[in-house]
């Protein structure tokens, strides 16, 4: 929580020092430090909860307010939507310290009412309490609002989006499962898709266990029993993949950060150096015992057949081993082949010997419980952040780390466009283009005068674009006659 302790010169929102001075203490105490400590202890309670609301409220629940509720005046004593927007703009314009000075310190508004400007209903358990009681809550609300990316006011219309596409030279494209669903590839990490219902018969308590590295190590057959459903069957790709390739052809693609593991970007011709596969992919596989690496194609046949693919390097060693005289064979080993060559021993104690199994080839996708590829943070922070001039997020609700962090990590003046079926509220995009992402990108290309050819886009396709009422930067795309 960045409000506490307050940097020098800032006015922290905290229990007023006056109260501390009134406390009867035996020894002289630095009043200010006590006040800070008290305030700190309030904030520490939310250390393991990014929003902090639950911890702040104890048993009571703190209700969040939507802007629609402010607009409709449904909450007694709350700001109007206009007042709320003015307060938020003011906060971003002058910073936290000056904002608190101007409002709470000068008593131009109560903390209780100001909480509503930042989307918090004054909790019932504070009803009738002095206004200071709302300060800790307000401090969190202000910090949260201040760290949120602000929508840039200059980008709102489809024309703005098209102009950004045409003028930008270093575009980051963030993609998720939504760009592959038109190819029939299930959004396998989402809990409410067909794939997970298939897993019930495997007796898993949580379907995500299929992608848990510990479960994989225990019984890889569980993963491989469903992996064949995730693997793309042919070298096909969607119009949205084609759009990313088109950006590459035009020299505008800085990086495609994809959460998908289907490696379909490659089918579209997006070059490996332009892709960061944030969760790894099926493009390669590694032996869990000897770390022998192969290209993904080498084991696709086995995967398609529903088998557990085994390591050819391990097998060779085992076979070579079998031909050796008894005394030179290795002792039993739980952890593989090449690594413990040195453990060859000359005893003829046959009881120690067992026929070893080759290692399992694990596709290089990132399982739950495994580290994400280093490439992600390295490229984003040390390379792309300096160069990017447009961000386009497609087909992901941006709820899964680390990709969810990307819009916040990039400079705030870089425009961000969101393309998906449903809008997200937790981060402020500049332009929301809602609908089937294949339809949205094909219409954008049409308007940009770009030729996005794909057999899934009818040549005579007409797309209706309608604004969403109340949002000047939100537009719905729909194929005419669909
Ligand atoms: Zn191996």
Which tens digit of pLDDT belongs to each residue from 48-96? 333 333 334 344 567 788 777 888 888 888 999 889 989 998 998 999 9
* Nearest-10 crossing angle of helices 81-94, 135-147: 70
Is 287 annotated in a binding site? The answer is yes
pTM, two decimals, is 0.71
Compute the C-alpha angle 79/81/83, nearest 5°. Answer: 55
Round to whole Å and give the CA distance between 168 and 391.
Answer: 10
Cα(299) to centroid(ligand 1), Å: 13
Is 337 annotated in a binding site? The answer is yes
Please count the other Cβ atoms lying within 10 Å of the Cβ belonging to residue 50. 8
Q: How many CA atoms does the CB half-sphere of 296 hold within 13 Å?
A: 18
What is the pLDDT at residue 291? 94
- Structure tokens belonging to residue 147: 């760290």
Identify how many contiguous H helices and E strands the chain contains and give both numbers. Answer: 20, 11
Is 311 annotated in a binding site? The answer is no
| Inter-CA distances, 472 with 151, 155, 466, 477, Å | 12, 10, 11, 15
467: which strand partners?
475
Cα(336) to centroid(ligand 1), Å: 7
Round to whole Å and give the CA distance between 398 and 141.
Answer: 22
What is the pLDDT at residue 456? 95
Mean pLDDT by 10-residue block, N- to C-terminus, for the chain (482 residues)?
36 32 31 32 32 40 78 86 91 93 94 92 88 92 85 94 98 93 73 62 73 90 85 85 98 95 91 92 92 92 92 91 69 46 43 72 90 84 95 89 80 94 80 96 97 92 91 93 80
Q: Strand 463-467 to strand 474-479: parallel, antiparallel, or no bridges (unpaired)?
A: antiparallel
Q: Which residue has the tokens 């702040």?
A: 56
The answer to whether 172 touches 153, Cβ cutoff 8 Å, is no
Q: Which residue has the tokens 């800032």?
A: 10
What is the pLDDT at residue 196? 63
The answer to whether 253 touches 262, Cβ cutoff 8 Å, is no
Cα(443) to centroid(ligand 1), Å: 49
Query: What is the per-residue DSSP string for 266-284?
Result: HHHT--GGGEEETTEEEEE
What is the pLDDT at residue 440? 98
Q: Strand 280-287 to strand 293-295: parallel, antiparallel, or no bridges (unpaired)?
A: antiparallel
Selected catalytic residue, list 241, 279, 292, 475: 279
Cα(290) to centroid(ligand 1), Å: 4
What is the pLDDT at residue 200? 66
Known catalytic residue at 279: yes
């Amino acid at each position: 929580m960045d409000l506490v302790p307050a940097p020098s010169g800032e006015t922290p929102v905290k229990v007023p020092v006056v109260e501390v001075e009134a406390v009867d203490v035996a020894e002289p105490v630095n009043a200010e430090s006590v006040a800070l400590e008290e305030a700190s202890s309030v904030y520490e309670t939310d250390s393991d909860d990014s929003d902090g609301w639950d911890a702040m409220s104890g048993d009571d629940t703190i209700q969040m307010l939507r802007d629609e509720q402010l607009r409709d005046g449904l909450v007694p004593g709350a700001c109007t939507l206009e007042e709320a927007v003015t307060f938020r703009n003011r906060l971003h314009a002058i910073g936290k310290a000056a904002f608190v000075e101007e409002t709470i310190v000068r008593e131009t508004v109560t903390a209780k009412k100001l909480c509503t400007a930042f989307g918090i209903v004054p909790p019932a358990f504070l009803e009738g309490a002095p206004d200071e009681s709302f300060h800790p809550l307000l401090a969190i609300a202000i910090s949260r609002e201040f760290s949120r990316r602000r929508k840039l006011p200059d980008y709102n219309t489809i024309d703005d989006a098209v102009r950004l596409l045409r003028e930008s030279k270093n575009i980051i494209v963030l993609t998720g499962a939504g760009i592959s669903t038109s190819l029939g590839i299930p959004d396998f990490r989402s809990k409410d898709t067909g794939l997970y219902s298939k897993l019930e018969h495997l007796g898993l308590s949580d379907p995500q266990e299929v992608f848990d590295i510990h479960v994989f190590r225990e019984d890889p057959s569980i993963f491989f029993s469903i992996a064949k459903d995730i693997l793309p069957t042919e070298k096909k790709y969607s119009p949205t993949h084609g759009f990313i390739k088109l950006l590459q052809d035009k020299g505008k693609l800085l990086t495609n950060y994809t959460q998908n593991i289907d490696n379909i970007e490659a089918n579209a011709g997006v070059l490996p150096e332009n892709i960061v596969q944030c969760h790894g992919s099926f493009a390669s596989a590694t032996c869990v015992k000897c770390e022998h690496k192969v290209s993904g194609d080498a084991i696709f046949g086995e995967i398609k057949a529903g088998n557990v693919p085994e390591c050819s390097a391990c097998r060779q060693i085992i076979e070579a081993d079998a031909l050796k005289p008894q005394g030179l064979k290795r002792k039993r080993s739980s952890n593989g082949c090449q690594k413990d060559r040195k453990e060859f021993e000359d005893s003829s104690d046959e009881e120690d010997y067992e026929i070893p199994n080759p290692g399992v080839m694990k596709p290089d996708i990132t399982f739950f419980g495994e580290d994400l590829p280093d490439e992600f943070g390295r490229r984003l922070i040390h390379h792309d952040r300096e160069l990017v001039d447009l961000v386009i997020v497609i087909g992901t609700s941006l709820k899964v780390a680390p990709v969810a962090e990307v819009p916040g990590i990039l400079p705030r003046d870089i425009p961000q466009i969101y393309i998906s079926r449903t809008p997200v509220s937790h981060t402020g995009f500049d332009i929301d283009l809602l609908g089937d992402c294949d339809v949205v990108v094909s219409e954008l290309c049409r308007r940009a005068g770009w030729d996005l050819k794909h057999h899934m886009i009818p040549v005579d396709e007409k797309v209706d674009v309608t604004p969403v009422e109340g949002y000047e930067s939100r537009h719905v795309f729909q194929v005419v006659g669909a």
